[in-house]
Structure 1
C-alpha cells in the first residue's frame, strides 16, 4: 500500500497529523480560512495556488518551525475546507492581495513576519508586499516574477503554448465536468507538464479532496474567470488594473526562486537576474536547474535549504 493509498482514506485533520502538522482556522476579511501549521514565533505565511493545496508545504512547514517561525499554510479562497466565498465566479488579483493582507493581520504579521508565496499567490505577493509593507518583513516568491517581467512573456509563442489552460478554462459550460473526469486526471496531467518527471500521486489526494465539492471547484476556477476573460484579457484596461493590483517595486528583501523545468511559466537567466531590482536590499533570485513548478515537493531538501540559508543571511531565523 502506498502513502497516497493511506492518505486517501483520511480526513484533512488525519492527513495533517500524519505529516506532524497542526490544524487551525482564522477569520480574515470576509472568510474563515482553514490552515495547516507548525511551530511558534513570528508568522511565516505560506500560500499555494492552483491546482494545489497547502500540503505542498508539508516539507517546508517543519523547517520554518525549526527556524523559529509559526508556519501557517491556509487553504486559499475556493479550496475546501476553507469557507466558500459569497462570490464564486470571479476572483481578481486585487482580491488575492486583500486576502494576503487580511491573513497577515489576523495571524500576527509584522516586521518579523515571512511570506512564502507560490503560483497565484506569488502574483498576489508582489501586490501585498507593496501595499502593506508593515505586514511582512521578508518574502520568498516562487515561480511568478514581478508584473513587468511576467508581462514580457505573455504574448510570446512559447508562453502561449504553456498557458493554453487560460483559455480552455473559459469554456465555463463544460470545463468543470471535464476537470472532474477520470478522477481529476486533467489536473494530474497539468502537474506532469509543469513538473516533468515528478509523480504527483500523493499531492493529488489532497487536491481532489480540496476540489471535490462542485461549489469549491467552481470557486477555484474563478481565479481564471476573473483574470483572463477573453473580452478583456490583454487590453489596456486589463493591464492597467493588473498594474494597479501587483505592479511596481517592493521594499522588503525577497528571495525569488524559479525552476528551469517550469512548464507553467518560463524565465530566462536574464529575466531571473532582473527580479532583485524590484525588491529591497538583501534580495536574491535563483534559477534552479532541474526543477519545475512544484519545486517544494520535487526536491524538498534542496529547496528548504536554499530558503533557510537565505533567511540566515538576511538576519532572522535561527
Structure 2
C-alpha cells in the first residue's frame, strides 16, 4: 500500500509497518499526512499475512523484511520508519541491525523490550496478555481467533470506545485458516527457540536492543494491551539524543486510528524538528 508517487526519489522514503492483529490499511490516515509533508510512503504487509510462508516466521523475519522494503524502494539517508505494535518491535530490530538505514524512528504502543522488565509478570498485565499465552495452544488458538467476535473483542479491550469495523473487515479478508499460523508465528517463536527463523536469528536478537537513532515513542494512556503504568522508566531505554517519550491522554492501543489528526501532527512535527 503506497501513498504519493513511490518512485519520486527526490522525496525521502517513509516506511510504515503495521502490527497484530491488523493490516497496512490502518495507516490510511497517516500515509496522506506524511505525503503532504513531503514524503513518499510505503505501508508494507508483514510476512505471513498475505500468504502462507514456506518457513517459520519470527521477529527477525519482520526485521529483515522491513530492511528489504527500505532497500527495494531506494531508501537513502533521509528515510524514516514508523511502526505500531509488532511493527514497532520490527523497527527496533531494523535500526539496531542497520543504524544507517533510517534517519529517525517512530514507535507506537510497544516500547523497547527492556523497558518492560518484570512489569510484564504483574497480575494486571498478565490478564491483559492472556492472548499471548493462548496463542501457544497451536491448533486451538488458530481456530478460536478466526471465530466471529474474537478480533472485535480484542480490539475492544485494547482501544475502548473505538469502532474497528472497517479495520477488522480488512483483517478477516486476509487472515484466514491458510495464513493464521504465520501470523501467530512470532508469538510462538518468542517461547520456543525451535520456531525462530534461523536465517534471521541475529535480527531477532536485535529487536531487544536500544534504538541507536533518534526515536519518538508514543503510547496511549488507555492502552489495554500494555498498561501505561509499566512505562515509568521507558525514557532510560531511549538514550540516543533527540529521542522522546510521550504518553497520549485518552487513547488506547490503536492511537493512530483513534486520534489520527493528533497523532499525525505529532509525528510530522517531530520528524521535521
Structure 2 length-normalised TM: 0.89
Q: Which has the higher contact order (CA 8 A, sep 6+)?
A: 2
Q: Is 1:257–1:286's contact at 8 Å kept on the other side of the alignment?
A: yes
Report whether the alignment pairs 1:96 with 2:57.
Answer: no
RMSD over aligned CA atoms reads: 2.2
Larger C-alpha radius of gyration, 1 or 2? 1
SS in structure 1 at match of 2:179: helix
* Cα offset, 1:243, TM superposition: 8.2
* Cα offset, 1:242, TM superposition: 9.2
Gapped runs of 5+ residues in structure 1?
A: 1-34, 233-239, 314-318
Q: Is 2:93–2:204's contact at 8 Å kept on the other side of the alignment?
A: no
Paired position in structure 1 for 2:183: 220
Correspondent of 1:281 among 223, 241, 261: 241
Report whether the alignment pairs 1:78 with 2:48.
Answer: yes
Q: State how many pairs are aligned.
A: 263
Provide the C-alpha distance between the structure 1 equivalents of 2:205 and 2:43, rounded to a whole number of angstroms: 26
Correspondent of 2:27 among 34, 53, 57: 57
* Cα offset, 1:276, TM superposition: 2.9
Report whether the alignment pairs 1:169 with 2:135.
Answer: yes
Gapped runs of 5+ residues in structure 2?
A: 196-200
Paired position in structure 2 for 1:203: 167
Deviations 1:70-109 (A, max 9, x none): 11101211112xx43212xx42222222121121111222
Q: Is 1:78–1:216's contact at 8 Å kept on the other side of the alignment?
A: yes
> Residues 230, 158 of structure 1: CA spacing in aligned structure 2 closer, same or farther, 3 A cutoff?
farther
Deviations 1:9-65 (A, max 9, x none): xxxxxxxxxxxxxxxxxxxxxxxxxx3333442110000011001111000000111
Deviations 1:283-318 (A, max 9, x none): 1110011111101110101110111111121xxxxx
> Residues 108, 295 of structure 1: CA spacing in aligned structure 2 closer, same or farther, 3 A cutoff?
same
Q: Is 2:63–2:204's contact at 8 Å kept on the other side of the alignment?
A: no
Structure 1 length-normalised TM: 0.77
